Chain A
């Protein structure tokens, strides 16, 4: 599966949300997932994803948040790849 990395740490709102939403359009079921690197938990973005049927997982390392976005059907494979 292809990992699409989106590093939004240096961008001010609403750019991080726009960047992830833009990449979501090219995310394909069974083929790719998005890995966002951010300085906070993007709670507003999580709420936007609910009606879109996209799942996510948050992993915190120090002060940095790694957020993975994927189709619910791909959860097991994505979790294996990212080592959760």
Chain B
């Protein structure tokens, strides 16, 4: 059984990096969009598609060979032909909701890029040589993403032909986006990267499978109930959040028991993400809209920051060292921890502001994106400075 972690078939760093960069750019655009009081649907999708989905697509491409053992034959070309139409699609989508009739272009660009990405990646995942809770979670996450895309495209098509649609369509679209695509992907990835990066024990395999299947089952159940009894949306949303709270509890306990309790920014972000999940059922019950916002930013964005702070310096270090260089800075030296802790402070304030003032929260979000970009740029610059040098391995026979 595969027990190691190999990056040797990992895509070149440039592939996922392009997705991460585009994600951060859309994060800024989303904040600008919020300030100019443009369409809420446009702003929401600049965050969900532009920021969250592009970073998650980049991470998924990176993770496939590392944790699943499958890889794309031409990773850079694949990244390019999905990313460019995706960017166009998100921009067309946003403009369409702000007075420009570009629905058809948005539909074609998003259907092509997201359809190609999700179907190819799911196909790769189905070919995985081994099934683990992580693989299962990723498969179900991708399946949810396809459902999200199908529902999204259906709504766009209806808008293109000036037809309206039932409120249940966006509800199911959002349910699968939040608790299927985003949630299951984070759950699956965390099972593998937390023991690896923070030297914790693995959760029991039966518990891991239970978490994945319980999450997927409740998502499906909620969808069916909402289809027939739309009035039960809030209680069902509450029930859907319960396995997430249980997962968070287990993960907090797991991380707390790690052998080397080193304090670093990325671990704090994981904690914030899990504490947010613990609070989620309660928030959802009182205000479902706030619950969704808190799920996206308290949970998902915290985990994204945790992952970026860990994987960008690690990949930079790894790709340089695999070419035979051992004189480069250490991972610790690649990131300014003080700046990362300043960002962490802003992030906590940002989460509090989500309940008080959205504009204040948006400023804090943009500021922390700016700090993170400058901070992680250092390790990316180091990677590129070594990339052009000839490998010392080239002379070893």
A-binding residues in B (CB < 8 A): 3-8, 196-199, 259-260, 314, 317-318, 321-322, 324, 326, 331, 393, 396
Residues on the A chain within 8 Å of B326, using CB = 21
CA distance A48 to B319 in the complex (A): 12
Contact residues of A between 16 and 50, Cβ < 8 Å to B: 17, 21, 39-44, 47-48
**In the complex, which of the residues A12, A41, A47 contacts B197, with contact meaning CB atoms closer than 8 Å?**
A12
Tell me whether B396 and A44 are in contact (CB under 8 A). no
Q: How far is the CB of A21 from chain B (nearest CB, A)?
A: 7
Are B196 and A44 in touch, CB under 8 angstroms? no
Which range holds the interface residue count of chain A? 10 to 19
Given contacts A41-B3, A44-B6, A44-B7, A10 and B321 within 8 Å (CB-CB)? no
**Is there contact, CB below 8 Å, between B314 and A14?**
yes
B260 & A12 in contact (Cβ 8 Å cutoff): yes
Are the C-beta atoms of B8 and A43 separated by less than 8 Å?
yes
A12 adjacent to B196 (CB under 8 Å): yes
Given contacts A12-B260, A13-B196, contact A42 B4 (CB under 8 A): yes
Q: A12-B198, A51-B324, A51-B396 are in contact. Are A40 and B3 (CB under 8 A)?
A: yes
Contacts of B318 in A (CB 8 A): 14, 44
- In the complex, what residues of B have CB within 8 A of residue A81's CB? none
A47 to B5, CA, bound (A): 12
Question: Looking at the complex, which one of A14, A39, A43, A47 makes contact with B331 (CB distance below 8 Å)?
Answer: A14
In angstroms, Cα B141 to Cα A2, docked, is 50
Chain A residues whose C-beta falls within 8 Å of the C-beta of B198 in the assembled complex: 12
Contact A44 B393 (CB under 8 A): no
User: Is B5 in contact with A43, judged by CB distance below 8 angstroms?
Assistant: yes
* A17 interface neighbour in B197, B260, B321, Cβ under 8 Å: B321
Chain A residues positioned under 8 Å from B321 (CB to CB): 14, 17, 48
Q: Are B6 and A10 in contact, with the CB atoms below 8 A?
A: no
Most A CB contacts (10 A, CB to CB) among B4, B7, B321 go to: B4
Q: How far is the CA of A4 from the CA of B371 in the complex (A)?
A: 43
User: Within the assembled complex, what's the spacing in Å between the Cα atoms of A47 and B324?
Assistant: 11
Mark A55-72 against chain B: 1 for CB-CB distance below 8 A, else 0.
Answer: 000000000010000000
How far is B197's CA from A14's CA once the two chains are assembled, in angstroms? 9
A52 interface hit (Cβ, 8 Å): yes
A44-B6, A44-B8 are contacts. A12–B396 as well, Cβ < 8 Å?
no
Task: State whether B4 touches A10 (Cβ < 8 A).
Answer: no
Besides A12-B198, A17-B321, 14 other A-B contacts (C-beta < 8 A):
A10-B259, A12-B196, A12-B197, A13-B5, A13-B314, A14-B321, A40-B3, A40-B4, A41-B3, A44-B5, A44-B318, A47-B6, A51-B396, A65-B3
Task: Report how far A47 CA is from B8 CA in the complex, Å.
Answer: 8
Min CB distance A28 to B, Å, is 19
Contacts A12-B197, A14-B314, A14-B317; A52 near B4 (Cβ below 8 A): no
A-B contact pairs, 15 of them (CB 8 A): A10-B260, A12-B198, A12-B199, A14-B318, A21-B326, A39-B199, A41-B3, A41-B4, A43-B8, A44-B318, A44-B322, A47-B8, A47-B322, A48-B321, A65-B3
- For B6, list chain A residues within 8 Å (CB): 43-44, 47
Is B199 touching A11 in the complex (CB atoms < 8 A)? yes
Q: How far is B321's CA from A27's CA once the two chains are assembled, in angstroms?
A: 20
Q: How far is the CA of A39 from the CA of B202 in the complex (A)?
A: 11
Question: How far does the alpha carbon of A52 sit from the alpha carbon of B199 in the complex, in Å?
Answer: 28
Contacts of B260 in A (CB 8 A): 10-12
How far is B396's CA from A13's CA once the two chains are assembled, in angstroms? 25
Q: How far is the CB of B269 from chain A (nearest CB, A)?
A: 16
Nearest Cβ distance between residue A66 and chain B, in whole angstroms? 13
Provide the residues of chain B in CB contact with A11, threshold 8 Å: 199, 260
A9 and B317 CA atoms in complex are apart in Å by 20
Query: Known interface pairs A21-B326, A44-B322. Does A13 touch B197 (Cβ–Cβ under 8 Å)?
Result: yes
**Which residue on B lies nearest to A11, using beta carbons?**
B199
Bound Cα distance from A11 to B317, whole angstroms: 16
